[in-house]
Structure 1
Amino acid sequence: MKVKIYKPYKTATQSGLSKFKHWIVEFPKDNNLGSEPLMGWQKSDNTYKQVQLKFDSLE
């Protein structure tokens, strides 16, 4: 399984640095969404798309 590892960058309108100190690991988003038949809500069996891990360093 491939993951995405990145460090968020600061945009021109943001002045704080607290959100940009960490490295983030994200799992790939699964686009296989189904529709729940009773209520019509979207469903997916992939719970990895809800996980976002943050680390202080790249190691």
Structure 2
Amino acid sequence: MSARIHQIQKNAMQSGKANTDKWVLEFAAAEAKRPDPLTGWAGSGDTQSQVRLTFPSREAAIAYAEKHGLDYSVIPTPPKTLKIQAYADNFR
């Protein structure tokens, strides 16, 4: 079973940085999703793809994966770039 470990990113609708210091371990999908014949919704019998574990640090997530014998890949956090703007720049 393979898993990926990554840090939670701030979404576009979020102004603060709450909960962005946590790391997440998510399992990869073991089987493809297929449409349900009655409702048309996509689903599969794979229940591990619904599991999402949070950890306080990267090392804790890696330790969990190694303890349980999981194949894992760590996705590095992209660097944060700030675009510094002043309100007065709107009127130049």
Higher mean C-alpha displacement, 6-15 vs 36-45: 6-15
- Which residue number in structure 2 is paired with residue 28 of structure 1? 28
| Structure with greater helix share of residues | 2
Question: What residue ranges of structure 1 are gaps of 5+ in the alignment?
Answer: none
- Which residue number in structure 1 is paired with residue 40 of structure 2? 40
For 1:45 and 1:17, the matched residues in 2 are separated by: 35
Give, in angstroms, the shift of residue 14 of structure 1.
5.0
Give, in angstroms, the shift of residue 40 of structure 1.
3.0
- Which residue number in structure 1 is paired with residue 57 of structure 2? 57
- Which residue number in structure 1 is paired with residue 67 of structure 2? none
Structure with max Cα Rg: 2
**TM-score normalised per structure 2:** 0.48
Identical-residue share of aligned pairs (%): 36
CA spacing shift, 1:34–1:20, aligned 2, 3 Å: same
Pairs aligned (count): 59
* Letter of the structure 1 residue corresponding to residue 28 of structure 2: P
CA spacing shift, 1:36–1:14, aligned 2, 3 Å: closer
**Secondary structure of the structure 2 residue equivalent to 1:18:** coil
